[in-house]
Homo-oligomer: A and B are copies of this chain.
Amino acid sequence: MTSTVNLLSTSKCFGGLVKRYSHYSECCACEMKFHVFEPPAATSKPAVLLFLSGLTCNDENFITKAGAIEYAYKNNLFLVCPDTSPRGCKIEGEDDSWDFGTGAGFYVDATTEKWCKNYNMYSYISEELYNIVNKQFSVNVNKWSIFGHSMGGMGALVIALRNPGKYQSVSAFAPISNPVDCQWGLKNFSNYLGTDDKSKWEQYDPSILARNYKGSHIDILVDQGTEDNFLEEQLKPQTLQDACEANPQHLALSLRKQEGYNHNYFFISTFIKDHIEFHAQHLNQQ
């Protein structure tokens, strides 16, 4: 059973349509919103490219600020831009922090009593929304790739590494690469997953997953600005690079250090063309 999606708005852009939808999410037990970009009708059904946003964002930031639509149009890709957390669930403390709770679902399935009813963004993205998009839109259901920014870069890497074959490629802008070993990860994982069983945390850590990954080969593109204020304390791309280099049979990471760039959408918009073309190359292979 797929939930009904409700069209909230439509805007023409680069000959295609930007649409915003809401729907009741079974995974999150609340109403969720997402944006899509449908490229202009072509002879072939578009492949799907899913973007996961970072802390404090909702489903609007990427579609309005990244400059992605021009390149999705040029490469006949169907963009999907979900929200970053459940909203309005009336859980005590959900709105107290900018880096935890609302706007910060961390793409996990929560296991603690307080959060487990709603905060299930891992299953929401990798199963529920995946099925909704494949059933409700005219897309190539066998061609998906995934990317994201910061917390969403982490989510994209985790979802790709835990679902071999489901995504043709994965990329990230400034991903949280080793969340079990940074303050953002400790704060969110301890609340959503508890502190008793740290093996649960490892299921959401890109570097640990990359080191142990044995599935079909994945190409990974990561861009990291050298002036990113979160680089040293929170992001730790070197740990991901070390993990991928230890697993060369299965993973090929291209980590590009972009001199002078910081953590915002001015950085993302500069390199969005490269990321979309990277995914288009993988999605358009036979």
Contact = CB atoms under 8 A, between A and B. Distances in A.
A70 to B, nearest CB: 7
Interface residues of A, number: 22
A70 B14 contact: no
A65 interface: yes
Query: Which of A13, A18, A261: most chain B CB closer than 10 A?
Result: A13
A126 interface: no
Interface stretch (A128-136, A196-204, A239-247, A262-270): A262-270
Contacts of A65: 64-65
A15 B261 CA distance: 9
A228 B196 CA distance: 56
B12 A69 contact: no
Given A65-B64, A65-B65, A70-B67, A12 B265 contact: no
B70 A264 contact: no
A69 B267 contact: no
A97 to B, nearest CB: 23
Contacts of A265: 64
A227 B12 CA distance: 9
Given A69-B266, A69-B269, A70-B269, A260 B64 contact: no
Interface of A: 11-15, 18, 64-65, 67, 69-70, 225, 227, 260-262, 264-267, 269-270
